[in-house]
Structure 1
Amino acid sequence: MSKTIPPRPLPRLYLATPVIDDPQSFAKVLPSVLAEADVAAVLLHLKPSDPRTLISRVKTLAPLIQDKGAALLLDGHVDLVARAGADGVHLPGLSAFEEALPTLKPDRIAGVGGLATRHDSMTAGELGADYVLFGEPNEKGERPSIAAICERLGWWDELFEPPSVGFAATLEEAGAFAGAGADFILAGDFVWSAAEGPAAALRATDAAIRKAHAARPAKADASQG
């Protein structure tokens, strides 16, 4: 008899902010953007400052994000996550992830990027990463080709349980990575710099993800028993 294969979950948006210096100004823009799509999480980039100022910035924006049902993650700043009321942190590389784990688990989200090899990715998953990010630029601004990122996302999707995130630098990449098997699409700079405005850009990104997802075949073929 045929086995029923459950449909693939729709990839969800993970929105990265610009570097935040003035949270009050950004707070006027953010709610209208978040209203345009189902955003699972927001990655908060903070301009360097003293801990008290950074915590104040996070606390200004946290209710706008968390009251929408989205998780608030900090880009680094492991030491501030609990004090600022964030839900977790994104870490740049395996060593930073390993070092931060005792502080974050089990109460906070710990995501990791900067995974140059398959082995590093698998190690992060085995250690308990809440997600692995593929495709972000390195310190020199270099990143893999779209085809290479899609290949890595597809490989992860077929073999591993922890969610994968595709770093999309363009609207087209958001669709490509959703089609390749990403569980989440990280969208940032291209949303905030779009000529039509960030709200419209996020809405278009959500539409591109949905279109790519709808065109993707089921994860496995029905088998005969």
Structure 2
Amino acid sequence: MNEATPPNRCRIVLIAPPGVPAARIVTAFDGGDVASLILPENGMDEASFQAFAERIVPAAQAAGYAGVAGDDDSNAGDTRIAGRVQADGIHVEVSKAELAETIEHSQAKMMVGTGGAKTRDDALELGETRPDYIFFGRFGYDNKPEPHPRNLSLGAWWADMIQIPCIVMAGSDIASVEAVGATGAEFVALSSAVFADGTDPRTAVATANALLDETAPRFED
């Protein structure tokens, strides 16, 4: 997390898309408040993913961000890599039983977050294992300007009912952070809106923070 006192409203989580150069990710770090950076495996083999994470995670941590390694369809290899690169957390999208096992073995050393829920029942099942957060959305599917309505609905319901924090995937338009912030979700995930070709990551993060400052509801202390 950033050394400065974090804002008392929805905060940004960055998700690195496939093929984004390390330098573009680092550029985003100068755009203002960000809670964490998730580095999906994005189809890389284990050695390539570890080398990539070794370049990015220390830079993220130096900037005050939590570095999280993981992917859809994660496996034990991701957990090992997260440990090797001294990441702050691991993101896994697996069955409830596998999630519970990962939490049992890893949560004392790092955050364990999860996603993949498509319904309220799915989310509640995963929530029973007490992950550090639940993610509503799918990596790489933020290809429309607005957030997916299902993710907004699940995020609003979860934020109102459950104490475990949630992250909701925004759309490809930076202004979509407003819709996510309005749900009461603790975090909004940004990927293509920050890292698409022709976008300045630093400016995109700064713009997102300004929009959240203006429109996102404040949380109770």
Q: Distance in 2 between matches of 1:218 and 1:41?
A: 19
Q: Is the 8 A contact 1:72 1:86 kept in 2?
A: yes
Aligned pair partner of 2:150 in 144, 148, 151: 148
Could you tell me how far apart the structure 2 residues matched to 1:13 and 1:138 are?
17
Name the amino acid aligned to 1:106: A
Are 1:94 and 1:112, in contact at CA under 8 Å, matched by a contact in 2? no
Structure 2 counterpart SS, 1:205: helix
- 1:71 Cα deviation after fit: 0.8
* Pairwise CA RMSD: 2.8
Report the alpha carbon displacement of residue 218 of structure 1 after superposing the two structures with TM.
Answer: 7.0
Please give the per-residue CA displacement for 1:167-187, whole angstroms capped at 9, x wherever unaligned.
Answer: 012323211011111100110
1:62-89 CA-to-partner distances (Å, cap 9, x unmatched) read 2210111111111231231112211111
Any idea what the Cα deviations from partners look like across 1:164-222, whole Å, max 9, x if unmatched? Answer: 11101232321101111110011001211163422211211222222221xx4877xxx
**Matching of residue 206 in structure 1 with residue 220 in structure 2:** no
Identity of aligned residues (%): 21
The one of 7, 29, 33 aligned to 1:34 = 29
SS, match of residue 9 in structure 1: coil
In structure 2, distance between residues paired with 1:64 and 1:151? 34
What residue in structure 2 maps to residue 127 of structure 1? 129
Matches within 5 A, 1:56-135: 56-76=51-71, 77-95=78-96, 96-135=98-137
Q: Mapping of 1:184-223 within 5 angstroms? A: 184-193=187-196, 195-213=198-216, 216=217
The two structures have a TM-score, normalised by structure 2, of 0.79
Could you tell me which of 158, 161, 180 is aligned with 2:160? 158
Q: CA deviation at 1:30?
A: 3.1
Give CA deviations for 1:135-155 in whole Å, capped at 9, x if unaligned.
33699x99x974433322221
Contact 2:31–2:202 at 8 Å: present in 1 too?
Answer: yes
Q: Unpaired segments of 5 or more residues in structure 1?
A: 1-7, 220-225
Q: 2:88·2:110 contact (CA, 8 Å) conserved in 1?
A: yes
Which of structures 1 and 2 has the bigger CA Rg?
A: 1
- 1:3 aligned partner: none
Shift of the 130–154 alpha-carbon distance from structure 1 to 2, 3 Å rule, reads same
Match of 2:75 in 1: none
Distance 1:202 1:94 in 2: 33
Distance 2:206 2:118 in 1: 31
What are the ranges of 5 or more consecutive residues in structure 2 without an aligned counterpart? 1-6, 72-77
Q: Does 1:17 align with 2:47?
A: no
Q: 1:38 to 1:119 in 2, by over 3 A?
A: same
Name the CA distance, whole Å, in 1 between partners of 2:219 and 2:149: 21
Residues 104 and 200 of structure 1: CA distance in aligned 2, closer, same or farther (over 3 Å):
same
Secondary structure of 1:166 counterpart: strand
Indicate conservation of the 8 Å contact 1:146/1:173, yes or no.
no
SS at match of 1:14: strand
CA, structure 1 residues 103+20, in 2 after alignment: closer, same or farther (shift >3 Å)? farther
State the SS of the aligned residue for 1:127. Answer: coil
